Structure 1
Amino acid sequence: MVIEYAPLEDELGDVLDKAMRHACCTEQALAEHSGVSAEKIHDAIDYRYELTAGELKRLAVALGLNEPGLLALAQNRYPLPEISGLPFCLYPLRTPHGIGVANAYIVAECGQSSGILFDAGSDYAQIERVWPKRIRKIEAIFITHVETEHTGGLEELQRILGRVPVFFPEGICISDTSARAGEVGGGFAMGEGARLRYGAFEVRAIKTPGHTEAHNSYVVSAPALSDATQLLVSGDLIFAGSAGRGYFCAQSFADSLKRLFTELPGKTVIAPGHGPLTTLENERLHNPFSK
């Protein structure tokens, strides 16, 4: 079991703003479609909430959002599941990002001192402060996408850890100063469906573009235990109670999100780039973007 204390990445205003951007919808157009005043919509996006339950339901319908999930978020009652059943140990590395957190993760066989790392935090000093004492060796680093809060610590981590292989989505330039994977220990593109084994567990890449053009999510499983719970390291695709922004392409983002909801088992544990852990079943039921 994992007891979660990380705050949700988004609140109501963020979700409404993202949904409008994904739908290419202006405040005025949403007001006309939902019957909620543009002023109230603007205030909500600016974190000033005076929306009634009826108005929230109309906004959910107009934006194609999950109504119960949006209401739960607005009432600060968004449910989070108990996390259990993973056949390996998961170490969340949470570092400050704005008013929330950015996450990196170590996956390791329980009781062992080596593991694999997903994303690298914004800088080494922050990651070092939350690094688990048990873990003394990293076998590989997997990058979901290149943004400062997820790759800023990579270069220094490589220098400290040695020549650890770095795997990243196809399309990332390894000379990018935000990633610099090719300059310290080598970098390797990991395309759709690629699989790598580390001890008792396997990492499979899923191409999930939309937030950025080059974005992978990673499924970590224990092949010898066919019924065991899987872990999805989702980067900035899906969060507990929300989703990322489709900066690269809103349609690609929506397709990637739909793919996760459709293809993966409900008991899959989601380890997002921001906010707390959750499960796919929980997000299917409650996430405003699950409809």
Structure 2
Amino acid sequence: MKLRKVIVGAYAANCYIVIDEKEGKSVVIDPGDDVKNIIDAIDASNTKVEYILLTHGHADHTSAAEEIRNKYNAPIAISREDYNMMKSRELMYGKLIDKVDIYVEDNQVFEFGNIKLKALYTPGHTPGGVSFLGENMVFTGDTLFQSSVGRTDFTGGDFNAIIDSIKNRLMTLPDEMVVFPGHGPKTSIKEEKMHNPFL
């Protein structure tokens, strides 16, 4: 397995491309902006995009999703709760995606090549926030950052919910699990247990 990170947009969001080199397949997580840079990274991987996975519906994580879908014919997956927020045209939510291909369910598994990513509902930053769990890594979107947590002062945010999500869905993962957040550097479950002031 190989991982590419593309930092995109004015908010320096992390877009991840998770690659199974042997099988020539990949998924794109949170294509938020700078579509050309994302396409360049995908094309450099020489893989077929199987899914576009969105951790939540904010514009800095979703704005390039339709262009990526149109180019690679890959389905867009997002929670129904966050898609409904996008439809409401709330501030911070991205331009409406014309069609959602897959409404993500809790514990749903996305397979591509020999890699599996399981969806974990982690609401709080948004009503339908999702993290994607792999064998030794978890993509947390804007739920958990290095030494911080996601904002909850936007429409649909809930501080108690995000803390509950982190404590009961993420901090129960193995200490060595690597955390790839929606902004900033990677961290680990162990590091966040030890140093995150919100926990």
Same fold (TM over 0.5): yes
Structure 2: any 5+ residue segments left out of the alignment? Answer: 88-93
Alpha-carbon offset, residue 274 of structure 1:
0.2
Alpha-carbon offset, residue 114 of structure 1:
2.5
Please state which structure has a larger fraction of its residues in helix: 1
Structure 2 matches for 1:11-160, cutoff 5 A?
Answer: 88-98=1-11, 101-111=12-22, 113-128=24-39, 130-131=41-42, 133-160=44-71
Larger radius of gyration between Structure 1 and Structure 2: 1
Query: What is the identity, as a one-letter code, of the residue corresponding to 2:139?
Result: V
Distance 1:181 1:276 in 2: 32
C-alpha deviations, 1:207-247, integer Å up to 9, x for none? Answer: 111111111111022xxxxxxxx210100001112111123
C-alpha deviations, 1:39-77, integer Å up to 9, x for none? Answer: xxxxxxxxxxxxxxxxxxxxxxxxxxxxxxxxxxxxxxx
Please list every run of at least 4 consecutive aligned residues from structure 1 whose deviation after the TM superposition is greater than 3 angstroms: 110-113, 128-132, 172-177
Of residues 56, 59, 75, the one that matches 1:165 is 75
* Partner SS, residue 133 of structure 1: helix
* Cα distance change, pair 134–112 in 1 and its aligned pair in 2 (3 A): farther
Structure 2 matches for 1:222-233, cutoff 5 A?
Answer: 230-233=136-139
* Partner SS, residue 83 of structure 2: coil
Q: Cα RMSD between the aligned structures?
A: 2.1
2:151 alignment counterpart: 245
TM-score, normalised via structure 2 length: 0.85
* Cα distance change, pair 235–181 in 1 and its aligned pair in 2 (3 A): farther
Query: What is the identity, as a one-letter code, of the residue corresponding to 1:150?
Result: H
Please state which structure has a larger fraction of its residues in strand: 2
* Cα distance change, pair 270–263 in 1 and its aligned pair in 2 (3 A): same
Query: What is the identity, as a one-letter code, of the residue corresponding to 1:151?
Result: T
TM-score, normalised via structure 1 length: 0.60
2:137 equivalent to 1:220: no
C-alpha deviations, 1:147-201, integer Å up to 9, x for none? Answer: 1110010111111112x1121113233784625151xxx5211111112322212
Higher relative contact order (CA 8 A, sep 6+): 1
Alpha-carbon offset, residue 264 of structure 1:
0.5
2:97 alignment counterpart: 180
Q: Does the aligned pair in 2 maintain the 1:93–1:131 contact within 8 Å?
A: no
Distance 1:280 1:181 in 2: 36
Distance 2:191 2:70 in 1: 39
Of residues 172, 178, 181, the one that matches 1:272 is 181
Q: Does the aligned pair in 2 maintain the 1:115–1:135 contact within 8 Å?
A: no
Query: What is the identity, as a one-letter code, of the residue corresponding to 2:97?
Result: R
Aligned length: 189
2:121 equivalent to 1:207: yes
Identity of aligned residues (%): 27
2:103 equivalent to 1:189: yes
2:144 equivalent to 1:198: no
* Partner SS, residue 171 of structure 1: helix
